[in-house]
Amino acid sequence: MIRRTLSEVQQMVNGTGLDEKWNDVCIHGVSIDSRKVERGNLYVPIQGERFDGHSFVSSALSNGAAATLWKRDMPNPPADMPVIFVEDTLQALQQFAQSYRNQLNVKVIGVTGSNGKTSTKDILTSILAEKFKVQKTEGNFNNHIGMPLTILRLKEDTEMAVLEMGMSGFGEIEFLSKLARPDAAIITNIGESHLMELGSRDGIAQAKLEIVTGLQEDGLFVYNGDESLLTNRVSKMNIAAKVVTFGDAFENDYHPTHIEMKATGTEFTINRAPGSFFLAALGKHNVYNSLACMAVAEFFGVSWEQMRTGLAELEMTRMRMEVEKTAGGLTIINDAYNASPTSMRAALAFMKDLNGYGKKIVVLGDMLELGDQEIQFHYEVGQDINSETADYVFAYGELGVHIARGAGENFAAGHVKAYTDKEALAKDLKAIASKEDVVLVKASRGTKLEDVISLIR
């Protein structure tokens, strides 16, 4: 994490007013939450719609903060701790992160896309760690507040930083890209998330492509070549960096030549390397994510053998195609962290290819932030499910009922059910599932469908 004297901090955030007696005090790390302050942190009081961090400076001091930023026009600054005055605390945080990033000898890889950002981040980190000292975005710290905090947590000797870049509207990825100045950038895919804000998938593609605005000219841009919305736009852009594609089609620079599902992961071969690779993650979509990561890794000099080790030893973030077994032996695939029509279809395609189990059961919940077409999207996902994919479909939520409505056209009575009560769903699931069976659980984060897993363990 960042370690700087307060005189250096004041210069980096374009602040004023620090009493000279505090110049040589050293801060260790940054916090915006007074409850989570660690000794030596710089406290940055952020102002939100429902709170003002300035109100909690005393608490931050009690918890060990070494100093605080303070918005210049706010009254009653603290007199019992070092204070640096700034025009805007959020902008100062962002400026602090940008200054620190510019001081580090680190290569930055930016990762964005509608789906698969976190999985791609995890895969890339695992591969790069075979050769470099790597840090990555933790949790969902991927926005205009989270990413600066992630950068400020980088150690001075970090060689590679894998930064996830999220957004909900135009201009946000551009801001993050210019702040982070990535040496390589990945767009995983274009789905339907944020249709409410961006209006169309073409709008989403436009917003995701903002990642190249801060990309270094001698860097690398990797994108999904199967997505025409990207290929059409990229062909008209003047991108100085090297550009490569990945995807299923053989026209892509990186594409699979064979994919085989295993009980604990996926074995695959690619067009550019000898031998096979074993990915300790489930699903074809994660093979495509791996291709993007392998393109970046090759660019930075990671060997195929090092990639092979990194893929095999991968540890994914929880609730991304996470396999677990209940006490009774039932296999559960927990993919409940997030969902969109694109990622839902990818998970269902995996279930279709999955063999070696008795009954295949899918538990699907609401997909959020889909705009005025949300009912149609849920219905169409349901229509895509048939007896090759699953034996039973359990749908949950106000929108999930439309998944059941679509799936009901392809199943006999009693094999598709809709619920608004998780306990009722879990009860019925336990009644039909046995140790020979497998259950997929998937929905958007706000649905918290992992509660069903807790009820059937």
What local confidence, expressed as pLDDT, does residue 317 receive? 82
In a domain, 317, yes or no: no
Token pair of 289 as six digits: 């994510």
User: Do 153 and 171 share a domain, yes or no?
Assistant: yes
Q: Please provide the DSSP assignment of 188-222 as one string.
A: ----STTHHHH-SHHHHHHHHGGGGGG--TTSEEE
Averaged pLDDT score across all residues of the chain: 95
* 139-167 average pLDDT score: 95
- The residue out of 312, 338, 361 marking a domain boundary is 312
In a domain, 259, yes or no: yes
> What SS3 class is residue 373?
helix
User: Do 378 and 237 share a domain, yes or no?
Assistant: no
Q: Going by C-beta distance under 8 Å and a sequence separation of 6 or more, which residues neighbour residue 431?
A: none
CA distance 131 to 110: 19
User: Do 267 and 133 share a domain, yes or no?
Assistant: yes
In a domain, 95, yes or no: no
pLDDT band at 194 (very low <50, low <70, confident <90, very high): low
CA distance 12 to 154: 16
Residues 305-323: b if buried by 16+ CB within 10 A, e if exposed: ebbbbbbeebebeebbbbe
Token pair of 160 as six digits: 């590679």
Percent of the chain with pLDDT over 90: 87
CB 398 within 8 A of CB 391: no
User: Do 141 and 281 share a domain, yes or no?
Assistant: yes
In a domain, 99, yes or no: no
User: Do 345 and 401 share a domain, yes or no?
Assistant: yes
* 121-140 average pLDDT score: 95
Per the structure, the count of domains in the chain is: 3
DSSP 41: P
User: Do 294 and 376 share a domain, yes or no?
Assistant: no
Q: Beta-carbon neighbour count of residue 325 at 10 Å? A: 11
CATH of the domain at 249: 3.40.1190.10
Residue 370: name the closest of 403, 407, 321 by CA. 403
CA distance 368 to 1: 35
> What SS3 class is residue 52?
strand
pLDDT digits (tens, 9 = 90+) for 329-369: 999 999 998 899 999 999 999 999 888 899 999 999 999 98
pLDDT digits (tens, 9 = 90+) for 308-334: 999 999 998 888 889 999 989 999 999
In a domain, 92, yes or no: no
User: Do 170 and 250 share a domain, yes or no?
Assistant: yes
> What SS3 class is residue 334?
strand
Structural domain boundaries enclosing 44 = 3-87
pLDDT digits (tens, 9 = 90+) for 430-453: 999 999 999 999 999 999 999 999
* 90-110 average pLDDT score: 98
What local confidence, expressed as pLDDT, does residue 393 receive? 98
In a domain, 221, yes or no: yes
pLDDT band at 377 (very low <50, low <70, confident <90, very high): very high
- The residue out of 58, 87, 116 marking a domain boundary is 87
CB 55 within 8 A of CB 124: no
What local confidence, expressed as pLDDT, does residue 262 receive? 83
- The residue out of 62, 87, 112 marking a domain boundary is 87
CATH of the domain at 68: 3.40.1390.10
Percent of the chain with pLDDT over 70: 99
CATH of the domain at 409: 3.90.190.20
What local confidence, expressed as pLDDT, does residue 382 receive? 97
User: Do 354 and 224 share a domain, yes or no?
Assistant: no
User: Do 125 and 185 share a domain, yes or no?
Assistant: yes
Better-predicted residue by pLDDT, 282 or 292? 292
* 223-250 average pLDDT score: 96
In a domain, 145, yes or no: yes
User: Do 331 and 353 share a domain, yes or no?
Assistant: yes
In a domain, 98, yes or no: no
User: Do 36 and 168 share a domain, yes or no?
Assistant: no
CB 203 within 8 A of CB 167: no
CA distance 379 to 317: 29
pLDDT digits (tens, 9 = 90+) for 386-413: 999 999 999 999 999 999 999 999 999 9
* 92-121 average pLDDT score: 96
CA distance 159 to 154: 10
Given a cut of 80, is residue 216 above it in pLDDT?
Answer: yes
> What SS3 class is residue 297?
helix
CB 396 within 8 A of CB 425: yes
What local confidence, expressed as pLDDT, does residue 371 receive? 87
Please name the residue ranges forming H helices in 104-210: 117-128, 146-152, 172-180, 195-198, 201-208
User: Do 161 and 298 share a domain, yes or no?
Assistant: yes
For residue 16, the cross-strand partners are 85
* 286-310 average pLDDT score: 98
What local confidence, expressed as pLDDT, does residue 144 receive? 95
pLDDT band at 96 (very low <50, low <70, confident <90, very high): very high
